[in-house]
């Protein structure tokens, strides 16, 4: 941890891969994971001379939806730009991205604490190919697979508003939840569908940016990002303690060694020579189109939590768990609806789902309601009848009664079983148990 | 079949009347190529076998009643159009062994229309130039005087038409690359409005300017080819959905009352011979009932600066994909001109210079577009010389890194504004070299400029002269 005079200042860049059927600028399938290398390619995503990009409208709509969900303003006049740099996995020698007019800008995500993390921009770009270095017939070889080349990516950049790794983690969970709610990305970290790049520095004045920043590139797990931030905070703190300034650089996270390592210094920083992509006319999104997209945005987790609290009287704790993913939240609401006739309390449904860890993929809301109702068949048990049965059981099982009173808890369960057997129908076990316990606590027997 | 000078219209007529077959016609051109190519050097690649095969197919189709608009017509294609299975070099050794695995949309359209491809024509490497002297395969020659240049970058294309090595040719223009060589070679060259003809599959030079178009012997052929080429292409987001008119329908229409704009600045610094000839030929229009009106346009010299910045910037980015990994030859194979352009473009886009150069150029571009808009509120077309000079001798571009820009000074403003323009032959110099005149129209006014060009052509005999080879 940094010494108490220094505050970590952290900003975040997140790349989210959209799950559109086709790629960003051609009609090749965007489903590249685990596919035969270079099978999903064409002149456009291979960047062959003469080939031209045609933007994927759905991807743009989805990017705008993400921006809207992050409370962003939308640039009605937007455009694509070329980001020029050389790398063998970049088929055209430039990446089509967005520079000064991203689709979305100036948004925020609110953390549970009420702190708002500012979103600087939400923009659209294309993914690169993938390099792999292998031994082929005893020779080192570098292979390029362009299946991922041109897959739509949305980049979400925050302001340097985070002050610790936990805030970053919460933000990431919320962001992941939002894109999943929108159904625009699976945001599966293992498949690289969400990639994280924190910028970390330490400042004596939390309101002032220090004169350096360290970027940690391409982290593919929330846990690693947390570790990388904590590691960097400590590393930079030690450098600063010596009166030195950490180098402005790009670092990577080594999970094996549990540390970050230098990848590129400031001197090697690219000049991307951005300029407007001449192959794609500017994109105009009208107010009407924006409001249509806004209407298509579903109720997002934060709102849903509040509604569940208010409408169903759930605790924040329960509401938060039930809204973590949309199918679960929908399942719960369906179950509440199904349970109305039986006058099931939504809280009981919530408890049941949470405690029993109901697998919503193998059961239906109706089945769940039946299950809960069955377990609550208490109405039919007549108090007098129950009292009578309990008396019988106590009389017939003297030894167990004595054992229980001597402190043998298991005997209670035996007696309970006997009562249930005599009752011969489903009943609220808890109620019977309580009644039985109460009866046994009387001193007369 | 003995050599016979034919336009597309005449060749189609002969095919339809069964005076000759497409195979005979194609053989005639292949023979002609063999005969004059050593002098003219129009082609980088001649595709004899494919041509004969295509001609056979065309004949078979015609026998089955197929009536496609270019069925069996042998054409030459500039070597920056991707052609499936056929080497596409853009006249650069970097792409010496590059065989495109797909057809440019223009090529697809021509194939669908029944064309027979004779081969790929020489050009300035990557279209960088106005002479073909930057070609890594040697410069092409002007059929009117083989010690002279054909112009460029579509120099091979224009020469192939003037030397009658093809019925017509397909070229491309960024700023002058169709009109200027057409002017120097004495043929008709149409630069369509930017976005009228698809760029898909054309090896990019200046992406915001590149416009493929026809180079032909007559204006009618030009209209006929544009009809096949024009239209929205789902593979090129910059093509326009503007409807494509029937270019032949109004081709011969009356131009009585047509308002022609003339700007003095477009005659300034132009060779006396060229200037005098164009001015003289304007009288033909007056006789046809058109009105000549003096207009004021921005001086074309501003266009050079602006064009140089925009185009070099786009070039530096467009050529980045030829990274030495996938196309056989590495970047050391780039010629001097390409290297100069990459460096200049890279510089103007660099941090700290973008606003000073590229961004400023974009703003000036808007000013030029507005300037033309204002002009076209008063006149229907603008006419002027196409090139300040007639064809220059071989070697003229040596140590002249701005040669192309100076040769294209009169076509650059309209290219920057994305307008359409057409070169028509309008006379000859004392040395016997062709002089060209350009007719510029507003965006998507191809129908109008073709009509205006056609009327002039019908009144004059320049297009009937042939070079002796």
Give chain B positions within 8 Å (CB) of A79.
none
Question: CA-nearest residue of chain A to B95?
Answer: A49
Nearest to B320 among A52, A86, A276 (CB): A86
134-173 in chain A: CB under 8 A from chain B: 144
With an 8 Å Cβ cutoff, are A94 and B317 in contact?
yes
The predicted pLDDT at position A412 comes to 87
CA A232, chain centre distance (Å): 24
Give chain B positions within 8 Å (CB) of A52.
199-200, 235-238
Which ipTM score applies to this complex? 0.96
A129 close contact with B: CB closer than 8 A: no
Residue B425 sits at φ, ψ, to 5 deg, of -65, 135
What is the per-residue pLDDT across A371-407, written as a single tens digit (0 to 9) for each? 888 777 655 567 788 888 888 898 898 888 888 888 8
d(CA A251, CA A262): 4
Using a pLDDT cut of 70, give the percent of chain B over it: 100
Which of B102, B125, B357 is the best substitution to test chain A (most A C-beta atoms within 10 A)?
B102
d(CA A6, CA A205): 7
CA distances from B27 to A304, B2, B4, B23, B467 (A): 76, 10, 12, 6, 21
Q: Is A401 left (phi over 0), alpha (psi -120 to 50) or beta?
A: alpha
**DSSP-assigned letter for residue A267:** G
List residues of B whose CB lies inside 8 A of any A CB. Answer: 80-82, 88, 90, 95, 98, 100-102, 104, 199-204, 206-208, 234-238, 313-314, 316-317, 319-323, 325, 346, 349-351, 354, 358, 362
Nearest to B237 among A88, A94, A281 (CB): A281
Which of A56, A57, A90, A275 is the best substitution to test chain B (most B C-beta atoms within 10 A)?
A275
With an 8 Å Cβ cutoff, are B100 and A49 in contact?
yes
Tell me the two tokens of residue B58. 């065309």
Give chain A positions within 8 Å (CB) of B235.
52, 54
d(CA B229, CA B170): 10
d(CA B121, CA B152): 11
The band of B82, judged by pLDDT with boundaries at 50, 70 and 90, is very high
Give chain B positions within 8 Å (CB) of A86.
320, 323
Structural domains in chain A plus CATH codes: 7-289 (no CATH), 299-375 (no CATH), 383-441 (1.10.10.410)
With an 8 Å Cβ cutoff, are A88 and B320 in contact?
no
d(CA B415, CA B408): 10
Q: Supply the mean pLDDT for chain B.
A: 96
Catalytic residue among B139, B154, B160, B177: B177
**DSSP-assigned letter for residue A300:** P
The predicted pLDDT at position A7 comes to 93
d(CA A182, CA B359): 37
Which segments in chain A show pLDDT lower than 70? 1-4, 267-269, 377-381, 426, 443-445
The predicted pLDDT at position A445 comes to 44
Report yes or no on B309 lying in a domain. Answer: yes
With an 8 Å Cβ cutoff, are B321 and A91 in contact?
yes
C-alpha dihedral over B292, B296, B301, B306, to 10 degrees? Answer: -110
Q: Residue B449 belongs to a domain with what CATH number?
A: 3.90.1300.10
Q: Is position B78 annotated as part of the catalytic site?
A: yes
With an 8 Å Cβ cutoff, are B325 and A273 in contact?
no
A437 close contact with B: CB closer than 8 A: no
Report yes or no on B353 lying in a domain. Answer: yes
B358 close to A84: Cβ distance less than 8 angstroms: no
Q: What mean pLDDT is predicted for residues B328-344?
A: 95
With an 8 Å Cβ cutoff, are A55 and B237 in contact?
yes
Residue B205 sits at φ, ψ, to 5 deg, of -110, -85
Nearest to B358 among A47, A55, A275 (CB): A275
Give chain B positions within 8 Å (CB) of A43.
82, 101-102, 201
Q: What mean pLDDT is predicted for residues B345-358?
A: 92
A146 close to A113: Cβ distance less than 8 angstroms: no
Nearest Cα to Cα of residue A175 among A309, A292, A301: A301
- Who's near B182: CB < 8 A, 6+ residues apart? B151, B154, B158, B188, B189, B215, B386, B423, B436
The predicted pLDDT at position A434 comes to 81
d(CA B155, CA B443): 25
Nearest to B237 among A54, A84, A92 (CB): A54
Report yes or no on B149 lying in a domain. Answer: yes
Burial class of residue A65 in the structure, from the number of CB atoms within 10 Å of its CB (0-12 exposed, 13-18 middle, 19+ buried): buried
**Domain ranges, residue B114:** 8-464
**DSSP-assigned letter for residue B153:** S
- Min Cα distance A85 → chain B (Å) is 8
Give chain A positions within 8 Å (CB) of B238.
52, 278-281
Q: What mean pLDDT is predicted for residues B108-120?
A: 98
Report yes or no on B1 lying in a domain. Answer: no
- Min Cα distance B316 → chain A (Å) is 9
C-alpha dihedral over B328, B330, B332, B334, to 10 degrees? Answer: 70
R_g (Cα) of chain B, nearest Å = 20
What is the per-residue pLDDT across B355-392, written as a single tens digit (0 to 9) for each? 899 999 999 999 999 999 999 999 999 999 999 999 99
Tell me the two tokens of residue A137. 């017939």
Question: CA-nearest residue of chain A to B98?
Answer: A49
- How open is the CA angle B116-B117-B122, to the nearest 5 degrees? 155
Report yes or no on B306 lying in a domain. Answer: yes
- Who's near A178: CB < 8 A, 6+ residues apart? A66, A69, A70, A109, A300, A301
A131 close contact with B: CB closer than 8 A: no
Question: CA-nearest residue of chain A to B349?
Answer: A273
DSSP string covering B423-467: EEEEEE-TTS-EEEEEEEESTT-HHHHHHHHHHHHHH--GGG---
Catalytic residue among B92, B153, B154, B414: B153
Which of B97, B107, B200, B338 is the best substitution to test chain A (most A C-beta atoms within 10 A)?
B200
CA distances from B278 to A186, B177, B275 (A): 66, 20, 5
Report yes or no on B177 lying in a domain. Answer: yes
With an 8 Å Cβ cutoff, are A49 and B203 in contact?
yes
What is the per-residue pLDDT across B163-177, written as a single tens digit (0 to 9) for each? 999 999 999 999 999
A285 close to A64: Cβ distance less than 8 angstroms: yes
With an 8 Å Cβ cutoff, are B320 and A93 in contact?
yes
35-74 in chain A: CB under 8 A from chain B: 43, 47-55
Establish, for the pair of chains A and B, how many residue pairs have beta carbons separated by less than 8 Å. 98
Report yes or no on B392 lying in a domain. Answer: yes
More confident residue, B295 or A381: B295
d(CA B115, CA A64): 45
**DSSP-assigned letter for residue A219:** B
- Min Cα distance A92 → chain B (Å) is 4
Give chain B positions within 8 Å (CB) of A49.
82, 88, 90, 95, 98, 100, 203-204, 321-322
Q: What mean pLDDT is predicted for residues B222-234?
A: 98
A284 close contact with B: CB closer than 8 A: no
A202 close to A190: Cβ distance less than 8 angstroms: no
Give the position of tokens 């030029």: B368
pLDDT for B416 beyond 80: yes
pLDDT for B245 beyond 60: yes
Nearest Cα to Cα of residue B395 among B128, B133, B154: B133
Q: What 3-state DSSP class applies to B419?
A: coil
End-to-end CA distance of chain A: 63
The predicted pLDDT at position A4 comes to 58
Report yes or no on B3 lying in a domain. Answer: no
- Min Cα distance B300 → chain A (Å) is 23
**pTM exceeding 0.80:** yes
Residue B273 sits at φ, ψ, to 5 deg, of -60, -45
Residue B8 sits at φ, ψ, to 5 deg, of -60, -45
Which runs of E-coded beta strand occur in B296-428? 381-385, 420-428
With an 8 Å Cβ cutoff, are B82 and A48 in contact?
yes
d(CA B62, CA B114): 10
Nearest Cα to Cα of residue B231 among B191, B179, B192: B192
- Min Cα distance B165 → chain A (Å) is 26
- Min Cα distance B197 → chain A (Å) is 14
d(CA A404, CA A433): 13
Q: What 3-state DSSP class applies to B44?
A: strand
d(CA A192, CA B438): 56
- Who's near A445: CB < 8 A, 6+ residues apart? A394, A401
- How open is the CA angle A8-A12-A17, to the nearest 5 degrees? 160
Number of domains into which chain B is organized: 1
Q: Is position B109 annotated as part of the catalytic site?
A: no
Q: Is position B401 annotated as part of the catalytic site?
A: no
Nearest to A273 among B100, B325, B346 (CB): B346
DSSP string covering A64-101: HHHHHHTT-EE-SEE--EEEE---TT-TTSEEEE-SSS
The predicted pLDDT at position A379 comes to 54
Helix then strand then coil, in percent of chain B rounded to 5, is 40, 15, 45
Helix then strand then coil, in percent of chain A rounded to 5, is 40, 20, 40
């Amino acid at each position: 941890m940094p010494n108490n005079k220094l505050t970590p200042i952290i900003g975040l860049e997140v790349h989210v891969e959209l799950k559109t059927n086709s790629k960003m600028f051609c009609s090749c399938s965007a489903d590249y994971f685990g596919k035969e290398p270079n099978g999903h390619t064409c002149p456009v995503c291979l960047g062959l001379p003469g080939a031209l990009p045609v933007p994927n409208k759905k991807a743009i709509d989805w990017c705008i939806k993400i921006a809207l969900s992050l409370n962003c303003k939308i640039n009605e006049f937007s455009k694509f730009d070329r980001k020029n740099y050389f790398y063998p996995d970049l088929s055209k020698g430039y990446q089509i991205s967005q520079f000064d007019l991203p689709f979305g800008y100036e948004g925020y995500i609110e953390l549970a604490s009420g702190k708002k993390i500012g979103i600087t921009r939400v923009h659209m770009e294309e993914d690169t190919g993938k390099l792999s270095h292998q031994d082929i017939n005893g020779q080192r070889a570098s292979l390029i697979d362009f299946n991922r080349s041109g897959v739509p990516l949305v980049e979400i950049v925050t302001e340097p508003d985070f002050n610790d790794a936990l805030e970053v983690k919460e933000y990431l969970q919320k962001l992941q939840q939002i894109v999943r709610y929108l159904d625009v990305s699976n945001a599966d970290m293992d498949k690289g569908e969400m990639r994280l790049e924190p910028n970390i520095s330490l400042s004596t004045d939390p309101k002032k940016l220090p004169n350096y920043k360290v970027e940690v590139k391409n982290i593919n797990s929330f846990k690693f990002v947390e570790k990388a931030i904590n590691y960097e905070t400590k590393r930079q703190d030690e450098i600063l303690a010596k009166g030195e300034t950490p180098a402005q650089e790009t670092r990577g996270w080594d999970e094996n060694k549990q540390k970050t390592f230098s990848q590129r210094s400031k001197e090697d920083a690219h000049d991307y020579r951005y300029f407007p992509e001449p192959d794609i006319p500017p994109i105009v999104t009208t107010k009407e189109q924006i409001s249509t997209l806004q209407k298509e945005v579903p109720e997002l987790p934060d709102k849903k939590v509040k509604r569940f609290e208010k409408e169903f009287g759930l605790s924040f704790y329960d509401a938060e768990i039930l809204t973590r993913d949309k199918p679960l939240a929908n399942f719960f609401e369906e179950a509440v609806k199904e349970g109305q006739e039986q006058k099931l309390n939504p809280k009981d449904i919530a408890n049941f789902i949470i405690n029993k860890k109901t697998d919503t993929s193998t059961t239906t809301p109706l089945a769940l309601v039946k299950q809960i109702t069955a377990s609550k068949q208490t109405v039919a048990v007549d108090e007098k009848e129950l009292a009578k049965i309990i008396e019988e059981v106590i009389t017939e099982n003297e030894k167990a009664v004595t054992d229980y009173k001597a402190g043998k808890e298991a005997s209670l369960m035996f007696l309970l079983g006997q009562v249930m057997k005599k009752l011969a129908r489903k009943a609220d076990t808890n109620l019977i148990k309580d009644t039985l316990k109460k009866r046994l606590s009387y001193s007369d027997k | 079949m003995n050599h016979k000078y034919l336009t597309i219209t005449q060749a189609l007529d002969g095919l339809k009347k069964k005076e000759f077959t497409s195979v005979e016609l194609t053989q005639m051109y292949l023979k002609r190529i063999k005969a004059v190519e050593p002098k003219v050097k129009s082609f980088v690649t001649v595709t004899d076998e494919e041509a004969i095969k295509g001609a056979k197919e065309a004949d078979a189709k015609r026998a089955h009643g197929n009536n496609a608009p270019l069925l069996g017509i042998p054409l030459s294609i500039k070597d920056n159009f991707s052609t499936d299975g056929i080497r596409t070099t853009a006249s650069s050794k970097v792409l010496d062994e590059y065989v495109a695995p797909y057809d440019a949309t223009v090529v697809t359209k021509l194939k669908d229309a029944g064309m027979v491809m004779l081969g790929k024509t020489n050009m300035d490497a990557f279209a960088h130039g106005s002479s073909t002297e930057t070609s890594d395969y040697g410069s092409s020659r002007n059929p009117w005087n083989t010690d002279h240049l054909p112009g460029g970058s579509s120099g091979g294309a224009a020469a192939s038409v003037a030397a009658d090595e093809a019925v017509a040719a397909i070229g491309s223009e960024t700023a002058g690359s169709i009109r200027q060589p057409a002017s120097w070679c004495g043929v008709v060259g149409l630069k369509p409005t930017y976005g009228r003809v698809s760029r898909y599959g054309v090896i990019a030079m200046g992406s915001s300017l590149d416009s493929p178009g026809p180079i032909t012997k007559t204006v009618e052929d030009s209209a006929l080819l544009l009809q096949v080429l024009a239209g929205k292409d789902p593979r090129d987001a910059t093509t326009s959905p503007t409807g494509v008119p029937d270019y032949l329908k109004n081709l011969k229409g009356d131009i009585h009352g047509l308002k022609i704009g003339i700007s003095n600045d477009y005659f300034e610094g132009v060779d006396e011979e060229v200037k005098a000839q164009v001015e003289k030929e304007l009288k033909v229009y007056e006789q046809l009932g058109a009105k000549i009106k003096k207009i004021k346009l921005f001086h074309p010299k501003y266009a050079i600066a602006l064009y140089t910045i925009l185009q070099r910037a786009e070039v530096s980015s467009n050529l980045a994909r030829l990274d030495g990994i996938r196309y056989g030859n590495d970047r050391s194979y780039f010629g001097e001109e390409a290297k100069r352009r990459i460096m200049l473009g890279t510089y103007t886009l660099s941090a700290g210079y973008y606003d000073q150069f590229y961004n400023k150029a974009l703003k000036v571009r808007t000013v030029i577009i507005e300037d033309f808009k204002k002009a076209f509120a008063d006149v229907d077309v603008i006419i002027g010389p196409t090139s300040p000079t007639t064809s220059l001798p071989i070697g003229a571009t040596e140590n002249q890194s701005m040669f192309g820009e100076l040769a294209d000074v009169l076509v650059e403003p309209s290219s920057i504004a994305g307008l359409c323009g057409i070169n028509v032959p309008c006379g000859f110099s004392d040395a016997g070299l062709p002089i060209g005149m350009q007719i510029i129209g507003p965006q998507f006014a191809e129908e109008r400029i073709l009509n205006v060009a056609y009327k002039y052509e019908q009144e004059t005999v320049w297009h009937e002269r042939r070079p002796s080879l």
